[in-house]
Amino acid sequence: MLQVKNLSFSYNKTTILKNLNFKVKKGEHLSIIGESGSGKSTLLKVLYGEYDLDSGHILWDNTEILGPKFNLVVGYDFMKYVAQEFDLMPFITVEENIGKFLSNFYPEEKQQRTAELLEVVELTPFSKTKVKTLSGGQKQRVALARALAKQPEIILLDEPFSHIDNFKKQSLRRSLFKYLKTHHISCIVATHDKDDVLGYADRMLVLNDKQIEVNDIPEQLFKNPKTPLTASFFGEFNVINNRIVYAHQLKLVNKSNLKATVKHCYFKGHYYLIEADLNGDTVFFEHDGALKTGKEISLTMP
């Protein structure tokens, strides 16, 4: 189990993380979310031992993770980290990159292991391709496979699908997260994409203003987002009478005392997002059909 106790960290004199406490159990999937600049990447690097803490402790079971002041070679066998900007060896093949840290002592096993990982990241047809000729998204997948090669106990992923296009993203996400669950590998995923969280994460931690704003089960946070920041992560929302109401919860009815005027209508695929004026405030709601600008409507909320 990973235990983070009273962790504080600054770059020079600028505090980025202040007094964080959380745990990740074996095989558990934790998502770290927060706005750009909130310190997600910094937190992953700190957990990996890239920097020295101002104060606090990071433990994996009974091993304390130490920064460069106390540990000359960054990294541990039980933990792998895939950075937002990954560094691969460009002049060798995909297969060679993935197998780079696997022993040559059992060539057959090495071959099998590499083939299995190529399947997980859906790169089997590219095994003999030189990395320098791959796209950004393909490189990101090679970096993921390489981090998994030696079967870590915990893996830290920084926006793991950020370079991967929508065509591949869904299936790759399923394949990777399924692999991690099946092999009881704990993972911490920094992301700003709700699709990386919903359906996969066991817990979700929101970073805001250097601290953990909330740490809970995604379903709980979705149903009861305690702050606008958390709600905004899940989608379009309104604050009406001091309550957070998602756009999909606000509905058009024949009669109510929430009277609004349609301002704009956005086609969203299986629904339309309607922007309306409610007593001088802009509100958003979802509707099956398009609505004309200027139309007077009545709304209801749960």
Residues in contact with ligand ADP by CB under 6 A are 11, 16, 34, 36-42
**Chain mean position to CA 17:** 18
Pairing type for strands 211-216 and 203-208 reads antiparallel
DSSP state of 65: P
**238 is a site residue for Mg ion (CB under 5 A):** no
Nearer to ligand ADP, 33 or 221 (CB): 33
What are all long-range contacts of 111-117, with beta carbons under 8 Å and residues at least 24 apart?
Answer: 113/149, 114/149, 117/145, 117/148, 117/149
Residue 294 binds which entry of ligand ADP, Mg ion, none, CB below 5-8 Å type-dependent? none
Residue 14 CB, shortest distance to ligand ADP, in Å, is: 6
DSSP state of 71: -
Cα separations (Å) of 123 from 5, 67, 93, 178, 209? 39, 34, 12, 17, 39
Residue 2 CB, shortest distance to ligand ADP, in Å, is: 18
Residue 39 binds which entry of Mg ion, ligand ADP, none, CB below 5-8 Å type-dependent? ligand ADP
**97 is a site residue for Mg ion (CB under 5 A):** no
Site for Mg ion in 12-41 (CB under 5 A): 40-41
Residue 44 CB, shortest distance to ligand ADP, in Å, is: 8
**Cβ neighbour number for residue 78 with a 10 Å cutoff:** 17
**Chain mean position to CA 190:** 4
Residue 157 CB, shortest distance to ligand ADP, in Å, is: 12
Nearer to ligand ADP, 10 or 175 (CB): 10
Q: Which residues pair with 297 in a beta bridge?
A: 260
Q: Where are the alpha helices (DSSP H) in the chain?
A: 40-48, 94-99, 107-120, 136-148, 166-182, 194-197, 218-223, 228-234
Residue 16 binds which entry of Mg ion, ligand ADP, none, CB below 5-8 Å type-dependent? ligand ADP
d(CA 61, CA 253): 55
**230 is a site residue for Mg ion (CB under 5 A):** no
Residue 170 CB, shortest distance to ligand ADP, in Å, is: 23
Residue 218 binds which entry of ligand ADP, Mg ion, none, CB below 5-8 Å type-dependent? none
**Cβ neighbour number for residue 226 with a 10 Å cutoff:** 14
Spatial CA neighbour of 91 closest among 149, 138, 133, 150 = 133
Residue 104 binds which entry of ligand ADP, Mg ion, none, CB below 5-8 Å type-dependent? none
Position of tokens 């999937």?
A: 29
Residue 33 CB, shortest distance to ligand ADP, in Å, is: 9
Residue 34 binds which entry of Mg ion, ligand ADP, none, CB below 5-8 Å type-dependent? ligand ADP
d(CA 115, CA 113): 5
Residue 209 CB, shortest distance to ligand ADP, in Å, is: 12
Residue 37 binds which entry of Mg ion, ligand ADP, none, CB below 5-8 Å type-dependent? ligand ADP
Nearer to ligand ADP, 39 or 99 (CB): 39
Binding residues (CB under 5 A) for Mg ion: these are 40-41
